[in-house]
Structure 1
Amino acid sequence: MNDLSGAAGYLLEAGMLKRARRSGWWIAGVRDPESIAEHSWRAAMTGMVIASLEGADPSRTAMLLVLHDTPETRIGDIPKIGRDYLTATDAASVVADQTAACPDRVKATVHDAIAEFEAGETPEAICAKDADKLECLIQAVEYRHQGVTTVQPWIDSSLAALQTETARSLARELLEAEPLAWEQTREAK
């Protein structure tokens, strides 16, 4: 059996995403914003839905999204405004360092997924990019429902970035939806 200490280290490092907060929401005034892992989880769910409806591979799309923010364990979640002032190392370089001690198959899996997501050219990557933006919109809708009144720029930038008709249609539905409507359906039975 391969030495799995590098893979174990990678999994422990990925756990940082459960504790690291999405920093852009602090700018909007959210006191306890979602973690990067929470974002990635719902982005993966969103990507699975979009890919299913767009005819892309839902499993591949979800995997791209589970991994897409893993470089942030080392460079942090740089808000959009911060990117104008900082130069971060590219995701491929971060991933190469993160997975250096991993078995070759793990290295290749993670590297290929990050490269595919970053290139944004395959149907799965296009769906994943849309899901990443759409999840931000969903979170903004939820924060707005909770009384945060400063999230419109996040909604607008997310809408502007969507490429697929499925994502644009979902966005229209989400903007009109009541975030807790799902809970009220049990009362109707």
Structure 2
Amino acid sequence: MVGSLSTFFDAAIQLKYVDRAGWKAKAGVKHPESVADHAYSMCAIGMAMSDAMGLDTERVLKMIVLHDLGESIVGDYMPGQVSAKRKQAEEDSAIKKIISGLPAKVRTEYSRIWREYGQGRTKEARLVRRVDKFEMALQAARYAKDGRPRKMLAQFFETAHAAVGVDDDAMTKILKSLSPAPRRKK
């Protein structure tokens, strides 16, 4: 049993060493947050939002932990760096490898949760997708407080506004307070 868990544990630890690529390339942050940092913040936000919304918080947290775990093998691709199809195929393969040593019941559950997130059809999956971008906006606001030019961070706020949507909830209100929604082009 111990040996069968090591691949999963190694992947979780590896995320501490995978920098969030967009912060370096697009905002010039020399020492950006890691994917593990991002996932931890997402867990805290997702837990509070899921509980407040009456969703399946355990499933939300598992989905958050799994959602970027494949990046421990494939790295953190920026949007447009590779095709969405290729990114999905690489991450699917990585997740399959990462969970391969887990007991069959656990492997089946994690695989199902991974697919659920990818499909984005359940309330829990849609929440996790929103939290992913919302956390990015919170990090952008932190980088702005640390002296990064807001102009360099604007694209991160714009992406978050597009993904978080117009729901009248805490995430939307906080996001609007961090950065007004971009004006729609006519």
TM-score by length of structure 2 reads 0.85
Match in the other structure for 1:162? 164
Over 3 Å counting, the alpha-carbon distance change for 1:98 and 1:43 in structure 2 is same
Q: Do 1:4 and 1:103's aligned partners in 2 also have CA atoms closer than 8 Å?
A: no
Comparing 93-102 with 164-173, greater Cα deviation is found at 164-173
Q: CA deviation at 1:40?
A: 0.4
Distance 1:9 1:110 in 2: 14
- 1:13-162 matches, within 5 Å, as 13-27=11-25, 28-84=27-83, 87-88=86-87, 89-149=89-149, 150-162=152-164
Q: Do 1:91 and 1:114's aligned partners in 2 also have CA atoms closer than 8 Å?
A: no
Match in the other structure for 1:172? 176
Structure 2 segments unaligned to the other structure (5+ residues): 181-186
In percent, how many aligned pairs have the same letter? 25
Q: CA deviation at 1:130?
A: 0.7
Structure 1 segments unaligned to the other structure (5+ residues): 177-189
Match in the other structure for 2:9? 11
Q: Do 2:74 and 2:91's aligned partners in 1 also have CA atoms closer than 8 Å?
A: no
Aligned residues: 174
Q: CA deviation at 1:90?
A: 4.6
Distance 2:84 2:10 in 1: 30
In structure 2, what residue type is equivalent to 1:105?
K
In structure 1, what residue type is equivalent to 2:122?
T
